[in-house]
């Protein structure tokens, strides 16, 4: 694709593990992100999201494959790429004892703006993002949310074509998260392509035009949130149990039932994919009831991205792999 702003072919990254074994963090990644998209990499920690992003924004050199970012070759023209991209890392990277404004000034000048230009652009962003109240305080006094908005401002100081956001809302309160989302949407409307990583399903769902679900260094599925959810036909019935033994016993009772399209044992709960939940539910409850393993709790839901992830990888995104 020539109109994609990110294009990768068989991009991979191998690290030496603690015991000198080879860890394949990213394997044969083929990806195309179109201009103007908000594209999300969704997956648990350790799935290779951040490694992928660090490669794409010239921080980490790939072990193999190739990539074109904003029309330039990643291996040969990283310097050109850097002019056109913005990056907001997980740590932000603000100078703690300098003010937010000073941080922006430095960033602007590193993008070859004159002092006057830098001042004008910093003021403009500070006003637009409503940061005036604390722009001249040291950044070490900022709240997580305030700091993150400043990080964002510093990432777009040079109006990049492509903005990378690494876990933009991790550790933020819901209000700050909403603000980050709002700003990402504004940038999107202005034509900026946004590439983000997240392990929040809500974030991918609410923000992204397309999502790639990554697991163990590979893309498991790619598409719009709606498309991905469509892969799971019908409804999901979740049965909760007191303990794993009872759940397992009920799981065996449900073996071979034709109404169940697919089922997963999640420890103390069972997840059942069915065509029509309203019709299947009474039948399923009857079976586990008669088998002396009635469920402690029951829920009937429409599929979420979590269910897509579960279906693709056999593991839940919320459970073990969620937070670090």
Partner 1 sequence: MRDAYLIAMNELRVTIRNPFWAVSSLFQPIIYLLLFGPLLNGVAASRGLPGGDNAVQFFAPGLLVMNALFAAGFEGFTLRDKLDSGFIERLRVTPISRLALTMGFILQSAINLIIQSIALIVCGAFFGLHFDIGGSILLVLLIVLIGITMSSISFRLALIIREGGILAGIVNTFVLPAMILSGIMLPISFGPPIIQFIAKFDPFLYAVDASRALINGAIGDPSVWMAFAIFIALSVITLGVFIRGMREAVA
What does the binding site for partner 1 look like in residue numbers (CB under 8 A)?
A: 57-61, 79, 82-83, 85-87, 89-98, 102, 106-107, 109-112, 154
Q: Which is nearer to partner 1, 57 or 295 (CB)?
A: 57
Spell out the alpha helix ranges (H) of 231-304. 244-253, 277-290
Give the DSSP H/E element, type plus range, for residue 182. Answer: helix 174-189
Query: Shortest approach of partner 1 to residue 114 CB, angstroms?
Result: 11
Measured from the CB of residue 105, what is the shortest distance to partner 1 in angstroms?
9
Q: Report the residue number, 135 or 239, with the smaller CB distance to partner 1.
A: 135
> Which residue lies nearer to partner 1 by CB, 70 or 271?
70
Judged by CB, which is closer to partner 1: 10, or 112? 112
Per 3-state DSSP, the chain is made up of helix, strand and coil in percentages (nearest 5) of 35, 30, 35
Packed helices 244-253 and 277-290: angle between N→C axes, nearest 10 degrees = 110
Cβ atoms within 10 Å, residue 273 = 21
- HSE, side-chain direction, 13 A CA sphere, residue 118: 16
Q: Euclidean distance between the first and final Cα of the chain, in Å?
A: 36
Least distance (Å) between residue 97 CB and partner 1: 5
CB of 297 to partner 1, least distance (A): 43
Q: Smallest gap, in angstroms, from Cβ of residue 122 to partner 1?
A: 14
Residue nearer to partner 1 on the CB measure, 137 or 296: 137
Answer whether 70's CB lies under 8 Å from 5's CB: yes
């Amino acid at each position: 694709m020539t109109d994609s702003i990110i294009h990768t072919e068989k991009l991979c990254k191998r690290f030496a593990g603690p015991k000198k074994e080879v860890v394949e963090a990213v394997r044969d990644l083929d990806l195309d992100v179109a201009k103007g998209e908000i594209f999300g990499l969704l997956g648990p920690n350790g799935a290779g999201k951040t490694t992928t992003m660090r490669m794409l924004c010239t921080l980490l050199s790939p072990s193999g494959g190739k990539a074109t970012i904003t029309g330039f070759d990643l291996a040969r023209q990283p310097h050109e790429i850097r002019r056109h991209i913005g990056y907001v890392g997980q740590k932000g990277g603000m100078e703690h004892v300098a003010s937010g404004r000073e941080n922006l000034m430095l960033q602007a000048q590193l993008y070859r703006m004159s002092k006057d230009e830098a001042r004008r652009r910093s003021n403009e962003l500070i006003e637009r993002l409503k940061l005036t109240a604390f722009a001249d305080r040291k950044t070490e006094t900022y709240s997580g949310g305030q700091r993150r908005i400043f990080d964002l401002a510093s990432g777009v100081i040079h109006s990049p074509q492509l903005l990378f956001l690494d876990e933009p809302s991790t550790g933020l309160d819901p209000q700050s998260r909403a603000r980050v989302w709002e700003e990402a949407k504004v940038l999107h409307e202005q034509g900026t392509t946004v590439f983000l990583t997240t392990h929040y399903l809500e974030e991918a769902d609410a923000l992204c035009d397309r999502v790639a679900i990554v697991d163990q260094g590979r893309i498991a599925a790619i598409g719009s949130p709606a498309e991905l959810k469509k892969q799971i036909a019908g409804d999901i019935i979740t049965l909760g149990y007191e303990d794993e033994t009872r759940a397992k016993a009920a799981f065996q009772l449900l073996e071979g039932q034709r109404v169940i399209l697919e089922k997963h044992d999640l420890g103390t709960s069972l997840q059942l994919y069915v065509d029509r939940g309203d019709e299947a539910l009474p039948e399923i409850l009857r079976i586990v009831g008669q088998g002396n393993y009635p469920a402690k709790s029951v829920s009937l839901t429409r599929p979420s991205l979590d269910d897509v992830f579960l279906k693709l990888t056999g593991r839940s995104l919320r459970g073990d792999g969620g937070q670090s």
